[in-house]
Amino acid sequence: MYKFAVFGNPINHSLSPYIHNQFAQQTGCEISYDKLLAPVNGFVSSVQTFINQGANGFNITVPFKLDAFEFANELTLNAKIAGSVNTIKIKADKIIGENTDGTGLIKDLTHNIGIKLKNKIILILGAGGATQGILFPILKQEPNQVIISNRAQSKAVRLAKNFSKFGNTCSISLNKIKHESVDIIINATSASLDGRMPNIAFSVANNAVCYDLMYGRQTPFMNWAKTNHAKMISDGLGMLVEQAATAFEFWTGTKPDTNKVLNNLRR
């Protein structure tokens, strides 16, 4: 029996136990998967207790992905480049940190939605932890250009510079995005959580694929995309399921079928 959990604060809303239990049923793996609230300043002691109880691994969500990065004593390439960790595997004395967010997004965009990123111009709104996690996997798809735009512009400038060794990146301030002709817009801000929309010009959505990392509700960004003639609109539910599947495979070596779980969740 594998022992897993997800740590966050808050954590009640998490769909991860449902998703991982569905994967376990499908694949015949025996697992327990809890959602555990860690105090904001108590991540390390909470996860250490869980490890002492015989845990095989755990997921990490807001606000602990940077704490998890520090806590791991070994990192995958994805995690190292992202500078944040959303999945930990325990193997003897090793605490291996991985970041599956970017892989999850790429699988959702390319497999489930069916769009190619190669040679595309991609605009990413936001420069927080999620953007750090998705940038390297996106750049591996060889887009023509990735434009990063953030409310605090210095963060976008820093990310564009740090990731320029992996592809063509640049930054632009939010209120200057006006006439860019982009193929894909990814809303990786947390503005949707507060029912808000990053302040950018309408014309940019025209004929672009618009993807919000947020899931579980129709967001202001998705409404904005619809009003402004986006070619295609998606929330981030597919990314959530795909990043979970990558974590499940990282832990158990077994690849689950994400379609069934995604369909169940959409219903």
Catalytic residues: 65
- Secondary structure class of 162 (helix, strand, coil): helix
Is residue 240 within the footprint of ligand NDP (CB under 6 A)?
yes
For the record, the structure tokens of 70 come out as 């520090």
**The one among 109, 130, 148, 177 contacting ligand NDP by CB under 6 A:** 130
Contact track, ligand NDP, 83-122, x by CB under 6 A? ------------------x--x------------------
The secondary structure of 181-248 as a DSSP string is --SEEEE-SSGGGGT------GGGGTT-EEEES--SS--HHHHHHHHTT-SEEE-SHHHHHHHHHHHH
- Closer to ligand NDP by CB, 137 or 236: give it: 236
Max distance between CA atoms of the chain, in angstroms, equals 55
**CA 84/CA 65 separation, integer angstroms:** 5
Is residue 126 within the footprint of ligand NDP (CB under 6 A)?
yes
**Which residues within the stretch 17-56 sit at the binding site for ligand NDP (CB under 6 A)?**
none
Contact track, ligand NDP, 208-237, x by CB under 6 A? -----xxx--------------------x-
Is residue 62 within the footprint of ligand NDP (CB under 6 A)?
yes
- Closer to ligand NDP by CB, 85 or 214: give it: 214
Angle between helices 258-266 and 16-27 (to 10 degrees): 140
For the record, the structure tokens of 92 come out as 């003897």
- The site for ligand NDP (CB under 6 A) is made up of 62, 101, 104, 126-131, 150-152, 155, 188-193, 196, 198, 213-215, 236, 239-240, 243
